[in-house]
Structures are given as structure tokens and as C-alpha cells.
Structure 1
């Protein structure tokens, strides 16, 4: 959708020059316009979505138990009553050698990932987000749990948020560390997600693109956390669009992957190896 690709243009105030378009190749601009067209074409006038058309324009890519560029993946069920699923990505070394059933030599940090799409479009199995999670897992040497949360309009708010909490509870349950997803990647047990006012609230890495229409909200979020004494590290990418990390052609996307890897390594070291 438009908010996940190119920013929505806003009127230029009198006396001010219009901001130039973000730097990118012509092919990338055409690709983003194609995504916008597909999004608009599958949205009905009454606000519902044509899921059948979406399944054609956004086909689900399969998980691969065999490593692909050093990262394997598998789909897991997080909450049977709601049929909540997720895709788990893990570095191939975590499989303990050639036999993927053997446990890894040490627990992995785990990153919980929520794909974009305005809570209505795309999925954990969308090609762009599948590839992005593979890159994160590879760069950060971490397990990535991409939550396939329920989407609107079929599932009203707060269904997606409930699914996010269910994913964290799944990770916090010790029985899931040695079986299920843990059979492929034994991740370190996370603490239950604390509230913003909790002293246990973890450090935050926030990447802000200069062409992201949501950047003002992101900065307000950082200011709110800092006002509460939380550790927030902000990385500014002046030429970046919304969700730029999904596009490997952007140098800023590769830089962010490196920042994420450093951030995860520091967090794991600071917590004694658990995330």
C-alpha cells in the first residue's frame, strides 16, 4: 500500500520549494508504482479487500528447511485456538550441522518481527518480508520469528495486537524452547514484554527515513521514551523511504542491517546471552 512504499505527497507551503523526490533508480520507481497499483486494485469501494486477487498479486513463498543463503525457515503454530502462525528464520549453523534435528551449540537471540501492510495487506510469507527476515537473521546471527498476525477488515482491531502478545507469550513459555520452533533453533528465553514505564523496558533502536510520511510519529515516540528515561538509539536516513529496509538495492537498507546486528549483539551481551 502507499504507506509501505512511496510517501504520499503533501502540498508545498507558499514560498517554499518542493522537496525533491527520493533518490532511486527508474526501475525501483516503476516497481513501487506497481505495488501501489496492485494495492489499489484489490481494495473495494466499501473498504473490504479482494483476497483472491491479492493471493495472485502477492503469492505466498514457502518456508525452506534447507538453508538458503545461510538461513533456513519453517512455519510454526503459535496459538492453536486462533490458528495464529509465524515463520521462524534461523542461521543454518543453528541446526547443529547437517542434521537439522540436533540442537544448536548455544541459544540464539530472537527477534520478533511484525510485517508491514497497514494491518490489512501482505503476510509473513510475502516474498519481500520473507527475504527481509532472512537478511536480518543472517546479519544478526539471530532467530527471527515473523508473526503472521490476523489482518483487517476480516479481523478488527485489536486482533493484530492480541496476536503480537500471543507471540511473546509463546516465546516466554519454556516448553517452546526445546520443541516446536526450538527443534530448529533453540532461542534464549525472553522476558515477558514489560510496559513502557517498567524499569525492565529494553533499549530501542529506531530508524527514521527522511521520506517516510510517519517520521514525525517516530520522533515523538523516541521523545516519549527518552522522557521516561529509556535508552533510545535513533538512526536518521535522510534519503530513505518508508520500509526502505525491505529493498536490498538501497545502501541505507544494508547499513540498517549492520546496525541491527550490532544492536542485537550488544543487547545479548548485556543480558547475559538472552534476548
Structure 2
């Protein structure tokens, strides 16, 4: 066999996931590419890993709670279901960058945080990740003191939120919309630079520098691997453009309040800006949009101890406190 006919790499996602010309998918067994420092005391938070489902070979959830609940938390803690980023193609709640984010949220909201893994593309194309997000939330809401005292002793599932960053923010949107359709109870959704894309280029996409952490080229690579393989394929598919021209209207869906936090220097900024007013003005949803000046994509995960990350934690904490006892 000549070397030219041997399988070669046709898609490469940051060296973590590679697709070969024969369709083989290679995943790196090495350390994740986004290393961050974790404090020795882990922010005064304790955590454990559990399998939230045995399907698909098993998927992990990492559960977090403050070590010292204390008298101030006698009413028990709000619960935050969290979904990690990674372009739908890689990532895990066990990676240090996402672990650090959840440590901060658990300690500083404070809250019980459940960080969920989900199936990844290209082996499992969308809407697999969003379907797993919905299933993970159903699993969490079914937990009881008998099934998991460690969680149930600290958690107040009547104060339940969904959240995620980048691809996980997209998952959180779809989960929140699905809970609305199904009559489920959720107090709010927190979307941190949620992954959204579309056919027409936005200004923030056109002006994105080629050395940015997330570029149009990178987004297109993720989408080629993640979007459903179906007739009429388009970047405007509702799974990735939930407020775009092909998205089903949500005006009849009773959704909880939504917080969108975008980076002012993020490629996704304009997509996030467009999502918020359509949700609010056309579909009547309670949506708050906040922009972090000068922040690029992934800033919270890549530097979870930065001033920008401090600002995000303050914004999310205020949102959770404002809505955790809402009767709406």
C-alpha cells in the first residue's frame, strides 16, 4: 500500500480529537490541553464522581458542595446543573479548567453543583449532547435522600438552575426550553458565552483575529463534526442557532428567566447579543444580557481566578439569589 493511500488526518480539534480519512476517530489519552491551578483547599468544597447513566458506556457526573454548610445554609442550597464546553467534540467535567469553575460556583454562590458529562461528536452528533443534558437533569431531579444522602442532605431541588459554558451553554438553553415544554420546574438558566453559529457572518465573526482562542475556522470545524448529517444541512440548524431563522418559536413555551453572559471580545458576542432580544422581545422571555468588556472566549475556564472570572461569579450569584425563591 502506498503512503498516499494510508489514513491521514482530515479534521483536528486542538490535538484532542482527530478524524482520519477512513472515518476513524482518535482521541488523545494525554492530559487535557487547558491546564489551570487548583487551590490546595479546593475552595472549601468537597466533591465526588458518580455515574449518572450506565447507557452509552457510562457518563460521569461530578457533584460539589461546600464542606461547611453551617447555620447560614439551614434552608439547604440551591442546585446548579452544569454542562462543560468543548465545541461538542471534547471536554469533561473532570478536566481541571471545568473543575475549577464548579469549585468557585459551589463555594461562592453557594450551591450544590452537578457537573455532567455528555456524549461527544463526531461519534455522537447533535442533538445527542442536548438529549443527554435533558436526561441528566431528569436523573438529578429524581434523586432522593434514600438514593444519594450526600447530595440530598444539602440540596434544595425546588431551587434548581441549569448552566453551562460555550457548548454547555447551548445545552443549557435547550434543556431549559425542554423543561418549559414538559412543565418541569427550573428557576433559571445561566448561559456563559453559549455556542451559537449561523450562515451569515456577524461583525464579531468577521473581525475576529486569526490568533484568537476561538475563530470562525475553528467553529466551522466543530460544526462539521457535530451538526446532524441530514438533507438540507445548514449552519442555521436550530440545534446550533436557537434564535435563528430556522428555529422553532418559543413564545408558547413557559421558560424560566435566562442570564446570558458574553465576552466583549468573543467571536460569539454578536450571536449572543442577537439571541437575547429575540428571546425577550419576540418570544416574551425574561432574558438578561451582560457583556464582560475585553473578555475573549473561554476566559472563565482558561483563567478561573481572574478579575473577569470574579465578575462572572458575582453576576451569577446575584441572578441565583434573585430567582431561587421566585414564584414565577
Return the TM-score normalized by structure 2.
0.60
From 233, 237, 241, give the equivalent of 2:296: 241
Residue 267 of structure 1: how far off its partner (Å): 1.1
1:187 positional shift: 1.9
- Which structure carries more relative contact order (alpha carbon 8 Å, separation 6+)? 1
**Distance in 2 separating the partners of 1:239 and 1:177:** 43
Supply the distance in 1 between the matched residues of 2:293 and 2:285 (Cα, whole angstroms): 24
What is the rounded CA distance, in whole Å, between the counterparts of 1:130 and 1:178 in structure 2? 25
Compute the RMSD of aligned alpha carbons: 3.0
Conservation of the 8 A alpha-carbon contact between 1:48 and 1:153: no
- Partners in 2 of 1:73 and 1:271 — Cα distance? 30
What corresponds to 1:265 in structure 2? 321
Distance 1:142 1:38, change over 3 A: same
Q: 2: CA distance between counterparts of 1:43 and 1:91?
A: 38
Structure 1: any 5+ residue segments left out of the alignment? 1-36, 98-103
Alignment coverage as a number of residue pairs: 221
Q: Residue in 2 aligned with 1:193?
A: 179
Give structure 2 stretches of 5+ with no counterpart: 1-11, 161-177, 182-249
**Cα offset for 1:116?**
0.5
Partner Cα distance (1:209, 1:216) in 2: 10
Where is the helix percentage greater, Structure 1 or Structure 2?
1
1:50 matched to 2:104? The reply is no
User: Hey, what's the Cα distance between the residues in 2 that align with 1:199 and 1:216?
Assistant: 24
SS state at 1:137 partner: helix
Contact 2:17 2:90 in 1 (8 A): no
Residues 1:162 and 1:207: Cα distance change in structure 2 (over 3 Å)? same
Q: 2:59 aligns with which of 84, 108, 118?
A: 84
Measure, in 1, the Cα distance between the counterparts of 2:297 and 2:80.
20
Deviation by residue 1:71-102 (Cα, 9 ceiling, x = unmatched) = 111112222334232111111124x79xxxxx
Which residue matches 1:72?
46
Q: CA 1:213/1:172 → structure 2, altered by over 3 Å: closer, same or farther?
A: same
Give the Cα separation in 1 of the matches to 2:34 and 2:266.
27
